[in-house]
Structure 1
Amino acid sequence: MHNPSHPQTRKHRCVFFGELLMRLSPPGHELPLQSPRMEVHFGGAEANVATSMAILGHDCAMVSALPDNVLGRACAGELRRHGVDTTHLHYAEGRMGLYFLSPGAMHRPSEVLYDRVDSVFARTGADAYDWSRLLADAQGLHLSGINLALGDATAQAALAAVQAAHKAGVPISFDCNFRSKLWGSRIEQAPALLSEIAAQADLIFGNDRDIALILGLDFPHADATDRFRAAGTAAFSAWPRLRRIAATGRHLHNVSDQALFGLMATRDRMLQTSTHALTGIVDRIGAGDAFAAGFLHGLARKMSDETTLDFAIAAACLKHAIPGDANLSCEADVLALMAQGGFEVKR
């Protein structure tokens, strides 16, 4: 059950821009079409963050483009069910972006197959979005590098959103979300386009590999913490506006048993959480989005940097126990994990 909205967080309005997707996956740990059934979930990088933040009590508005058909309306309805403002969605004739998830098990990794070429969102240009109106009264704009990968139309729309937010003084959080499969033949444009938004961001969600790609650098340190520290130093040097960079680190034992920790760098210091064991993972898709939502929640609630990072990694841990793309945990759930509230049945 979702917790009631918090009086301190309801005033924090954040706008999210990105593609909404329908996810199709076989039941359990079956291979695709091993049996003639598919389970359906709606999601998308920015939508997952919006959903989680709305559940945490924030005023979240989704900006995107959907097909004007039963699939698009069902997707919008799913967002509304969790408290996301969908009044700024654009509808047009066309197709829904899809992706197929083949869930992994043990030593067989999960695999994603995208089917989102020429979707309504991919065909919708920058002129469809009135950012001066969409960002009115906003305290934040969140978007990801996936917008840049989908084509020139969505890339220009994302850049227009960032320029409008910068002009209006709206803080920008940017998740690098580099997906090589989505960039395809445009992959050579990735560093320049990603850098164009990173240079305007106040907060970047990205690891050392993302920063190395964007800046054309190499961080050869053997230790993950040292690589992140070096990447943070390079990012702050390259982008004067940047205030924080945050990421998750992961130890992989197999598909079902892993360990997760959080990292954050500011211009003054670096923080790292303790490592959390994840055994019997249900669904890790969207864990990074859950981390981003938890982090943004901590900032909005004016938590300390340490508590913000701890809250974010706890939210990401909980996502691994929830099927679907979005983390549906409320604030009380996350705080209980942070307090090590135990695993007894809650009656």
Structure 2
Amino acid sequence: MTDRVLCFGEILLRLAAPGRELLLQTPRLDVHVGGAEANVAVSLAAFGHASAMAGVLPANPLGYAARDALRRHGVDTTALRFDEGRMGLYFYTTGAGHRPSEVLYDRAGSAFALAAADTYDWPALLADTRLLHLSGITPALGPATAQAALEAARAARAAGVLVSFDGNYRAKLWAAWDGDPRTRLHALLLETDLAFADHRDIELVLGIDGDASLSARDRFTAAAGAAFAAFPRLQRIATTTRAQASVDHHRLGAMLATRDGALHVRDGIELGGIVDRIGAGDAFAAGVLHGLLAGMDDADSLAFGQAAACLKHYLPGDASLASAADVMALLNGERLDVRR
């Protein structure tokens, strides 16, 4: 077994209005390659891990360009394949002040969404892999991808490969088809070792109503306890906490609960002058995974994940390119003078 991490999901193009403009306020869009799982793969590669991406891209210049973007950042793309279909897109408008950011999906009928579940050779794809990373976005895209994600998780379990799963609940995607998210996400969590989920994700999957009068910490603790009881393989649950004064000023904390009853809590870090918050959750997941894979304890892994997520807010694009040294510099409180 190696330290290779395989991420499975759809690679997207983000078409964003420049600066703080509305879509097509001027006839120009900025393009970034992204996708929840791809963002984790890029960030783990930046941390020095052998990360790989599995999925399907369209056999056209857009698909090849997306693959090449991951290659440039050190991600192994040999598990990607190309097929007929279109490129998944999403359009993004960055908010400002008290005007929220907006996402418009355009990914129906993509090459990834249409790929049959039985076209993935999971024993081969998972060879020499230590961890498989999935997210709740993949099963939200349709029956084929939902089945593929479940088969990937079950194949990983059979091969002794760890499974991490990021809830990433996207109501707009689930609403496009009668996908029964509770049942499908429940099945995936049964195969999961480490979940990135907040109390809302857990309550949705378990069909429970949380106590809204509880503090965020207590509600997460209660939800985590219910999740550990429902999913016997689950060992850890991690989440960020976010308070927003405006689009540009947030406070980002983090929590991690373990099956043995431990709860690690990181106080919020003030974030002002945010550049780009997209992908911050993926940076958090990659940071926690890096810590655990590198042998850090739970508390230090959570701290690393929180710091990685904070740095992502100051990097344009979907994926964080911060190195482990960059994250440690923030954790160690290094000065912000120009590095010369």
Specify the TM-score bucket, using the shorter chain as the normaliser.
over 0.9
Match of 2:303 in 1: 310
Instruction: Pick from 236, 239, 254 the counterpart of residue 244 of structure 1.
Output: 236
The Cα shift of 1:93 comes to 1.8
Letter in 1 for 2:339: K
Whether contact under 8 Å (1:165, 1:171) holds in the other structure is: yes
The Cα shift of 1:90 comes to 1.2
| C-alpha RMSD of the superposition | 1.1
**Deviation sequence 1:127-156 (CA, Å, 0-9, x none):** 221000000010000001111110001011
Q: Distance in 2 between matches of 1:289 and 1:283?
A: 13
Instruction: Pick from 239, 256, 265 the counterpart of residue 248 of structure 2.
Output: 256
Q: Distance in 2 between matches of 1:342 and 1:215?
A: 45
Match of 1:59 in 2: 50
Q: Does 1:197 align with 2:188?
A: yes
Matches within 5 A, 1:161-180: 161-180=152-171
Q: Distance in 2 between matches of 1:115 and 1:185?
A: 12
The Cα shift of 1:124 comes to 0.3
> Which 5+ residue runs of structure 1 have no aligned equivalent?
1-9
Whether contact under 8 Å (2:142, 2:179) holds in the other structure is: no
TM-score, normalising length from structure 2?
0.98
Q: Distance in 1 between matches of 2:66 and 2:50?
A: 19
Whether contact under 8 Å (1:11, 1:58) holds in the other structure is: no
Q: Does 1:222 align with 2:214?
A: yes
Matches within 5 A, 1:1-347: 11-186=2-177, 189-220=180-211, 221-267=213-259, 268-347=261-340
TM-score, normalising length from structure 1?
0.96
Q: Distance in 2 between matches of 1:54 and 1:26?
A: 28
> Which 5+ residue runs of structure 2 have no aligned equivalent?
none
Whether contact under 8 Å (1:263, 1:271) holds in the other structure is: yes
**Does 185-194 or 102-111 show the bigger shift?**
185-194
Q: Distance in 1 between matches of 2:34 and 2:119?
A: 22
The Cα shift of 1:222 comes to 3.0
Q: Distance in 2 between matches of 1:116 and 1:262?
A: 31
Q: Distance in 2 between matches of 1:296 and 1:185?
A: 31
Whether contact under 8 Å (1:180, 1:187) holds in the other structure is: no
**Displacement over 4 Å in runs of 4+:** none
**Deviation sequence 1:250-290 (CA, Å, 0-9, x none):** 00100000100011000221111121000000000000000
Whether contact under 8 Å (2:143, 2:179) holds in the other structure is: no
> CA separation of 1:297/1:229 partners in 2, compared to 1, >3 Å: closer, same or farther?
same
Identity of aligned residues (%): 55
**Deviation sequence 1:7-53 (CA, Å, 0-9, x none):** xxx95101110000000001100000000000000000000000000
Letter in 1 for 2:138: N
The Cα shift of 1:184 comes to 1.2
Q: Distance in 2 between matches of 1:186 and 1:37?
A: 32
Whether contact under 8 Å (1:283, 1:324) holds in the other structure is: yes
Whether contact under 8 Å (1:271, 1:306) holds in the other structure is: yes
Q: Distance in 2 between matches of 1:216 and 1:42?
A: 35
Q: Distance in 2 between matches of 1:188 and 1:118?
A: 16
Match of 1:3 in 2: none
Q: Distance in 2 between matches of 1:109 and 1:212?
A: 26
The Cα shift of 1:186 comes to 3.5
Letter in 2 for 1:179: R
Whether contact under 8 Å (1:273, 1:310) holds in the other structure is: yes
Q: Distance in 2 between matches of 1:162 and 1:210?
A: 19
The Cα shift of 1:342 comes to 1.7
**Deviation sequence 1:219-241 (CA, Å, 0-9, x none):** 21431111110111000010111
Q: Secondary structure at the match of 1:230?
A: helix
Q: May I ask how many residue pairs the two structures share in their alignment?
A: 338
Q: Secondary structure at the match of 2:264?
A: strand
Letter in 2 for 1:226: D
Q: Distance in 2 between matches of 1:105 and 1:317?
A: 18
Whether contact under 8 Å (1:102, 1:112) holds in the other structure is: yes
**Deviation sequence 1:149-199 (CA, Å, 0-9, x none):** 100010111111011001111110000110000011435600000000001
Match of 1:7 in 2: none
Q: Distance in 1 between matches of 2:232 and 2:252?
A: 30
